[in-house]
């Protein structure tokens, strides 16, 4: 991509996006690459899907690499950030996107279900943020964008308490790290998507459920790219005076 002096540009920035093999992660990776960043596409046991993300970026003139790591594992995350340090000597942007859920309510959620969701969604965010901030404080600059959800504000519409808890916890992490990061030159923010048209949405809610959600949203279903654009804004110079905030991308589904 040609370099530009625009405050929205991410020229030569190194960006790690967790869970970037599909959905919101893939769309965000594509947008950041369009803005000029080199994108590290993280996946966990989805090499073919991650390769599709990297190939899509390359076809559009962007730069990307693929790395496998289970972000719920402390040792795997430590190795991931060690690899980034060795290969790039810096990290400018971390997008904590990786997340999982199950269509369950409190009566069907086992302790194992609860722990598995929080391990990826919440512990993964903590581990990757810690690793990123260790690199960023050395360079005295960096951006972290955490993917939360509208359910952090209003609760899960159909009952997945583990998912709502994890996404609410991410907002607490965001605010705490924003305070820690500010003196170090690190901005930390969150994006809270509403009803976004992804494969995961249809798997968890079914076509009829998705239609109901779309009808309840003034702007209808969002697209993954809508979220990617919000992340790009929080990753660039244009948002230099924003930290500790949550950007709602929900098409009017929920107002705060």
- Smallest CA-to-CA distance from 184 within 144, 146, 139 is with 139
Strands 186-193 and 63-68: unpaired
Q: Is 80 helix (H, G, I), strand (E, B) or coil?
A: helix
Q: Is 97 helix (H, G, I), strand (E, B) or coil?
A: coil
Two structure tokens written together for 85: 């340090």
CB of 49 within 8 A of CB of 43? yes
Contacts of 215 (CB under 8 A, 6+ apart): none
Measured CA distances, 231 to 32, 62, 107 (Å): 8, 17, 35
Dihedral sign for Cα 15, 20, 25, 26, please: positive
CB of 54 within 8 A of CB of 60? no
The active-site residue out of 88, 163, 241, 254 is: 163
Contacts of 183 (CB under 8 A, 6+ apart): none
Q: Is 88 a catalytic site residue? A: no
Q: Which residues have a catalytic role annotated?
A: 163
């Amino acid at each position: 991509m040609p370099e530009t002096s625009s405050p929205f540009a991410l020229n030569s920035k190194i960006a790690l996006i967790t869970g970037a093999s599909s959905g919101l992660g893939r769309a965000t990776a594509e947008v950041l690459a369009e803005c000029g960043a080199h994108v590290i596409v993280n996946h966990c046991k989805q090499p073919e899907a991650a390769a599709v993300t990297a190939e899509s970026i390359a076809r559009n003139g962007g730069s990307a690499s693929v790395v496998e790591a289970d972000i719920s594992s402390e040792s795997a995350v430590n190795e991931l950030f060690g690899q980034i340090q060795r290969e790039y000597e810096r990290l400018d942007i971390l997008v904590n996107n990786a997340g999982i859920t199950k269509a369950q309510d409190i009566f069907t959620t086992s302790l194992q279900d609860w722990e598995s969701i929080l391990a990826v969604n919440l512990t993964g965010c903590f581990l990757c943020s810690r690793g990123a901030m260790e690199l960023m404080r050395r360079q005295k600059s960096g951006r972290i964008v955490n993917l939360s959800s509208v359910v952090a504000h209003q609760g899960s519409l159909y009952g997945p308490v583990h998912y709502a808890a994890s996404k609410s916890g991410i907002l607490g992490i965001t605010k705490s790290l924003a305070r820690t990061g500010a003196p170090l030159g690190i901005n930390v923010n969150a994006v809270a998507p509403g009803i976004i048209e992804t494969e995961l949405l249809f798997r968890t809610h079914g076509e009829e459920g998705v239609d109901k959600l779309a009808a309840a949203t003034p702007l209808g279903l969002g697209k993954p790219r809508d979220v990617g654009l919000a992340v790009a804004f929080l990753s660039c110079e244009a948002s230099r005076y924003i930290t500790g905030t949550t950007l709602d991308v929900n098409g009017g589904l929920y107002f705060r």
